[in-house]
Amino acid sequence: MSYKILVVDDEESIRFTFHAFLNDEGYTVDTVDNLEEALAKVAASAYDAVFLDILLGRDSGMKVLQFCRENQPNTPVLMVTGAPEIKTAAEAVRLGAFDYITKPVHQDELLRQARLAIDHKTLVDQQESYQLRMAAVFQSVSEGIMIFDEEMKLLEINSAAAKILDCDVNLTGLNPAELSGSCPPLKLLQETIEQRCEGEIFRLETTNGAGQPLTLGLTMAPLTGLGLRELGTVLVWRDETLPVRQVEK
């Protein structure tokens, strides 16, 4: 796979040198020398890294940095400067720069920074892809799912849970006591949820938010992270009144 890098600098020697070093390493490299062309390139093409001069003639490279953060937020931007100042570097970091390097840039340092930036983007892209897949699964399953944090405040509720309970999906941030007031079926489970009773609870007879009879199966399990640290609790609901009352998928 050939990674694509954009070099934005108003000095021809810098553009030529960066292109030569990066191209020899196997990267596909675009170079531009002004603000307008830089914005057009970022708008038209996806890049794996951007090397950006802080000063582009009378224009500021910060405008390009901000445009990159808005249009290609996963793409690392490395600021290039001949006269680094703490204020300028701090502003670049505040706006989301991955790092900054100073001129003259040696070949080894340029290639090292390029590898770091691309490795970072690869990891961020993988994490984003995983999160999107998990979000799709979370919303597509027929079982209702509710996820609580360590303080037992609701982090997420999928559409199936809201449909089974006939409650508003806008319940995030509420604790069990607050949830029981907003969602009647949860009144019977307030103590169970607060005490984090793990395992399966079968044939819970209640009514949904519309007052209809409801028979639920419930599984509660801890949400654990690295080192088995408990990060919260997961509740999985099954509507056992089916097929009398069909749940839309």
Q: Which residues contact 137 (CB under 8 A, 6 or more apart)?
A: none
Per-residue pLDDT band for 193 (boundaries 50, 70, 90) equals confident
- Domain membership of residue 248 (yes or no) is no
Per-residue pLDDT band for 249 (boundaries 50, 70, 90) equals very low
122 lies in the same domain as 21:
yes
15 lies in the same domain as 92:
yes
Using CA atoms, how far apart are residues 99 and 124, in angstroms rounded to an integer? Answer: 16
Number of structural domains found in the chain: 2
Domain end among 110, 136, 162: 136
12 lies in the same domain as 112:
yes
Burial label, 110 (beta-carbon count in 10 A; 0-12, 13-18, 19+)? buried
Whether the per-residue pLDDT at 125 is higher than 80: the answer is yes
**In which domain, by residue range, is 147 found?**
141-239
Domain end among 104, 136, 168: 136
86 lies in the same domain as 132:
yes
- Strand 99-102 with 77-81, pairing: parallel
Sign of dihedral through CA atoms 189, 192, 194, 196? negative
More confident residue, 180 or 41: 41
Give the pTM. Answer: 0.65
Whether the per-residue pLDDT at 68 is higher than 90: the answer is yes
Q: What is the average per-residue pLDDT within 181-199?
A: 73
